[in-house]
């Protein structure tokens, strides 16, 4: 089965539409969204409606959770907190109900999908090191786990540590992996293009994709929505 795995849309409908249009030309069996559909960005309702229509699975992210009032926003930085409160006021109850019903994890034959970490997925921890990745892999039975949350694309191999490649074939018989798929709507690795992955669980082939989108349009939407201007500016730098 061939999956497209996306994450951290953050209310950026221009980026989301661009990725979904691109995927129409791919032979994709399922589109999996790892959460944070909303937060930061100016079009939360539009993003929820697209995800609801176009993805096969959508998981709970920490910003989705916070918009529902289920995570204490006092732990967020000021920009994130302001955006969560704005999003909470802006979203329709119909779309909030969709968020309420999103699970924290999903599994396939060889893979686990989760927003933050396989170990304690509701605690919103991060994985930044190979040791943290191994500890999380020890907690699951699947050969590969796909995560988002940090907005930084990276492959962690149990045997090899961090692998810096945009395309590789996973050895699903002899190794185990955690794959951070990056972010659709707010990349933070210095590249402003949307980031996501294509994964074939039969061949093990994993490919990162980067797509340009009209950042200027999202910038203006953020400004017009009177969200913090920092959230608009950071999109140009991918930070």
Question: Using one digit for the tens of pLDDT, what is the confidence trace for 152-170?
Answer: 999 999 999 999 999 999 9
CA 117 centroid distance within chain: 12
Confidence band of 144 (pLDDT split at 50, 70, 90): very high
What distance in Å separates the CA atoms of residue 185 and residue 43, rounded to the nearest whole number?
Answer: 11
- Report field, pTM of the whole predicted structure over 0.85: yes
pLDDT at res. 196? 98
pLDDT at res. 75? 86
Assign domain 2-134+141-237 to its CATH superfamily. Metallo-dependent phosphatases (3.60.21.10)
SS3 track for the chain:
CEEEEECCCCCCHHHHHHHHHHHCCCCCCEEEECCCCCCCCCCHHHHHHHHHHHCCEECCCHHHHHHCCCCCHHHCCHHHHHHHHHHHHHCCHHHHHHHHCCCCEEECCCEEEECCCCCCHHHCCCCCCHHHHHHHHCCCCCCEEEECCCCCCEEEECCCEEECCCEEECCCCCCCEEEECCCCCCCCCCCCCEEEEEEECCCCEEEEEEECCCHHHHHHHHHHCCCCHHHHHHHHHCC
Question: Using one digit for the tens of pLDDT, what is the confidence trace for 187-231?
Answer: 999 999 999 999 999 999 999 999 999 999 999 999 999 999 999
Question: Using one digit for the tens of pLDDT, what is the confidence trace for 69-124?
Answer: 999 999 899 999 999 999 999 999 999 999 999 999 999 988 999 999 999 999 99
- Contact predicate 105/114, CB 8 Å: yes
Share above pLDDT 70 across residues of the chain, in percent, rounded to a whole number: 100
Domain boundaries, the chain: 2-134+141-237
What distance in Å separates the CA atoms of residue 44 and residue 38, rounded to the nearest whole number?
Answer: 5
């Amino acid at each position: 089965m061939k999956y497209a795995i996306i994450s951290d849309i953050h209310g950026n409908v221009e980026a989301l539409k661009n990725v979904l249009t691109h995927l129409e030309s791919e032979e994709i069996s399922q589109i999996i969204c790892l959460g944070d559909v909303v937060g930061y960005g100016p079009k939360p309702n539009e993003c929820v409606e697209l995800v609801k229509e176009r993805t096969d699975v959508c998981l709970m992210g920490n910003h989705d959770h916070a918009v529902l009032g289920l995570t204490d926003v006092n732990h967020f930085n000021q920009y994130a907190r302001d955006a969560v409160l704005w999003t909470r006021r802006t979203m329709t109850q119909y779309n909030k109900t969709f968020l309420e019903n999103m699970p924290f994890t999903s599994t396939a034959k060889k893979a686990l999908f989760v927003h933050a970490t396989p170990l304690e997925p509701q605690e919103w921890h991060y994985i930044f090191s190979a040791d943290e990745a191994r500890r999380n892999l020890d907690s699951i039975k699947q050969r590969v786990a796909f995560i988002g949350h940090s907005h930084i694309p990276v492959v962690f191999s149990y045997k090899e540590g961090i692998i810096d490649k945009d395309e590789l074939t996973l050895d699903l018989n002899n190794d185990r992996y955690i794959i951070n798929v990056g972010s659709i709507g707010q990349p933070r690795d210095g590249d402003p293009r949307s980031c996501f992955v294509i994964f074939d669980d039969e061949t093990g082939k994993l490919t990162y994709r980067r797509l340009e989108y009209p950042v200027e349009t999202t910038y203006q939407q953020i400004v017009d929505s009177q969200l913090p201007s920092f959230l608009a500016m950071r999109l140009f730098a991918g930070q």
